[in-house]
Amino acid sequence: MKKVKIILAIIVLALYAYQLITGNTELMPYSMLFLGAMMLVTGLGEFQKDRKEGFLGYFVVSLFLFFVSILGLLLN
């Protein structure tokens, strides 16, 4: 679980760094999709540690990020 979270964090960091350097925001829905996946994996880790409140927060934020990224992909 920790390796998946680190891989997703590296992908998100690379995508946002690329967007910041180039000023190109066409990859924003993809970076938000990976950020939502990272939040979901982090929330599942919290759920395994029996921290239900943390899981709920991460889960709600990841659902919001998935929704916004899908809208961004459909509207472009």
Residue 1: is its pLDDT beyond 90? Answer: no
The domain of 35 spans 2-75
Residue 54: is its pLDDT beyond 90? Answer: no
Can you tell me the distance from the alpha carbon of 54 to that of 3, in angstroms, rounded to the nearest whole number?
20
Residue 68: is its pLDDT beyond 80? Answer: yes
Residue with tokens 């929330």: 43
Beta-carbon contacts of 29 under 8 Å, excluding residues fewer than 6 positions away, are 68, 69, 70, 72, 73, 76
pLDDT tens, position by position, 8-53: 999 999 999 999 999 988 899 999 999 999 999 999 999 998 888 8
Domain count, the chain: 1
Answer yes or no: are the C-beta atoms of 34 and 8 closer than 8 Å: yes
